[in-house]
Structure 1
Amino acid sequence: MKMIYILTLVPFIGILGFLPFVNRIEPYVWGLPFNMFWMSMWVVLTSVILGIMYKLDPRNREGDQE
């Protein structure tokens, strides 16, 4: 297994692993309860991580012929 695929575990751990620790309403961040902000932040971060994985994956290079 390639090392860049390990990056898929980061959102999984961030969302499900830390959810019991951030399950609270206070403080409010940008007008959202902290739990809702946490989930919204991870939706954005998951997209960023997948974009990084796409750029690092050698199978997505232009000009490669298989």
Structure 2
Amino acid sequence: MDEAEEEFPGIGAPARRALIRAGYTRLEQLDGVSESDLMTLSGMGPTGTDILSDLLAARGMSLEA
């Protein structure tokens, strides 16, 4: 398992690559980022944003609706 898989568990490879290309390498960097902004990333879809929302919520953070 590589670092991106560890940082974003459950996120598919295309969505992980999209996050990294956009400069998001740590889950904490997504706190307060809007779901609509993430959806513009090639490879990111509703399943990915749902998983990210759950991961962030587990750490007391959230995406902006």
The structure whose residues are more often strand, as a share, is 1
The structure whose residues are more often helix, as a share, is 1
TM-score by length of 1: 0.30
Larger radius of gyration: 1
Relative CO higher for 1 or 2, CA cutoff 8 Å, sep ≥ 6? 2
TM-score by length of 2: 0.30
